C-alpha cells in the first residue's frame, strides 16, 4: 500500500460535476441549504443529499443547524484556497466552461473568494500594497510591514492583539487574473471595510461584488497602481 496523503480520494470528491458545482457555489462564503445547493448543481434533492454526505465525510464541507433546517459551508479557508487554485489551473489549461454569461465579466472584475475580494479589484489591492511596501515578501508569502500596519489603522482596521489562528496575510492565486490577491485576516477585513464604507456591495445570489461609481473612485485613490 502506498503511503502519504490520499489525493485520489480528494480528487474523486471534487471531480464529480454536481459536487464541483456545489463547492463552487459555497465559494461565496455563505451557508446554503441542501435545496439551494441542489438547484446550483441541477440535481434532485435526494441526489444532493447523497453528494453532501460524501463531501461532509471527506472533510470539504460542514453542516450548520438552524432550527429545523441544515445549512452547509466550506469546511475552512484552506478548502476555498484549493478550489481557487484549481480554477486557475483549469483556465490555464484551457478547461473553461463552454457557455459564458453576462455574469462572467463581472466575476472577473470583482467577486467574493470565500471571505475576501478577488478578481481584478482584488489583484489591484495586492499589487498596490506590495508596490508601496505595505506588504512585503513575494507573490506567495507576504506579511505586513510596519508601514502597512499604520496604513490599515488609518483605513479604519484594527488588527487583533492576539495572534489569530488564521494567517494575517496570505497570497491567494486568482483564477481569472492568474495572479495573487490578498486573503487571510487582513483580506477578509478589507472586504468588510469596503462594504461598510458603502464603496461596494454583494449582488444577491451571486459571488459578484459591485462597486458604485463613487466607491470605485475612492477605491482607486486608496489603492493606486503605478
Higher pLDDT, 3 or 105: 105
Task: Say if 2 falls within a structural domain.
Answer: no
Using the 3D structure, point to which of 75, 107, 124 is the last residue of a domain: 75
Q: How far apart are CA 18 and CA 113, in angstroms?
A: 20
Higher pLDDT, 172 or 51: 51
Using the 3D structure, point to which of 31, 49, 75 is the last residue of a domain: 75
Confidence of residue 164 (pLDDT cuts 50, 70, 90): low
Confidence of residue 226 (pLDDT cuts 50, 70, 90): confident
Mean pLDDT computed over 6-20: 90
CB 61 within 8 Å of CB 99: no
Whether residue 202 sits in one domain with residue 92:
yes
Whether residue 172 sits in one domain with residue 133:
yes
Please give the grid coordinates belonging to residue 203: 449582488
Mean pLDDT computed over 142-152: 94
| Predicted TM-score (pTM) of this structure | 0.73
Whether residue 123 sits in one domain with residue 87:
yes
Q: What per-residue confidence (pLDDT) applies to 42?
A: 92
Number of domains in the chain: 2
Whether residue 99 sits in one domain with residue 196:
yes
Q: Which class for 214: exposed (0-12), middle (13-18), buried (19 or more C-beta within 10 A)?
A: exposed
**Residue 7, Cα to own-chain centre: how many angstroms?**
22
Confidence of residue 14 (pLDDT cuts 50, 70, 90): very high
Residue-number span of the structural domain to which 147 is assigned: 79-222
Whether residue 95 sits in one domain with residue 38:
no
Whether residue 140 sits in one domain with residue 207:
yes
Please give the grid coordinates belonging to residue 19: 459536487
Mean pLDDT computed over 161-165: 61
Confidence of residue 165 (pLDDT cuts 50, 70, 90): low
Q: What are phi and psi of 4, to 5 degrees?
A: 100, -175
Amino acid at each position: 500500500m502506498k503511503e502519504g496523503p490520499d489525493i485520489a480520494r480528494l480528487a474523486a470528491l471534487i471531480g464529480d460535476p454536481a459536487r464541483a458545482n456545489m463547492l463552487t457555489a459555497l465559494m461565496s462564503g455563505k451557508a446554503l441549504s441542501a435545496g439551494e445547493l441542489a438547484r446550483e448543481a441541477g440535481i434532485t434533492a435526494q441526489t444532493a443529499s447523497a453528494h453532501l454526505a460524501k463531501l461532509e465525510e471527506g472533510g470539504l464541507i460542514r453542516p450548520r443547524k438552524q432550527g429545523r433546517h441544515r445549512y452547509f459551508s466550506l469546511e475552512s479557508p484552506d478548502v476555498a484556497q484549493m478550489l481557487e487554485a484549481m480554477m486557475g489551473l483549469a483556465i490555464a489549461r484551457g478547461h473553461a466552461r463552454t457557455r459564458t454569461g453576462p455574469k462572467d465579466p463581472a466575476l472577473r472584475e470583482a467577486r467574493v473568494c470565500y471571505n475576501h475580494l478577488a478578481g481584478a479589484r482584488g489583484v489591484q489591492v495586492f499589487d498596490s500594497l506590495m508596490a508601496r511596501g505595505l506588504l512585503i515578501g513575494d507573490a506567495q508569502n507576504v506579511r505586513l510591514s510596519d508601514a502597512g500596519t499604520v496604513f490599515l489603522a488609518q483605513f479604519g482596521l484594527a488588527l487583533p492583539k492576539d495572534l489569530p489562528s488564521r494567517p494575517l496575510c496570505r497570497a491567494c492565486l486568482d483564477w481569472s487574473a492568474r495572479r495573487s490577491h490578498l486573503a487571510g485576516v487582513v483580506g477578509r477585513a478589507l472586504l468588510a471595510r469596503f462594504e461598510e464604507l458603502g464603496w461596494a456591495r454583494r449582488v444577491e445570489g451571486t459571488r459578484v461584488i459591485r462597486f458604485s461609481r463613487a466607491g470605485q473612485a475612492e477605491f482607486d485613490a486608496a489603492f493606486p497602481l503605478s
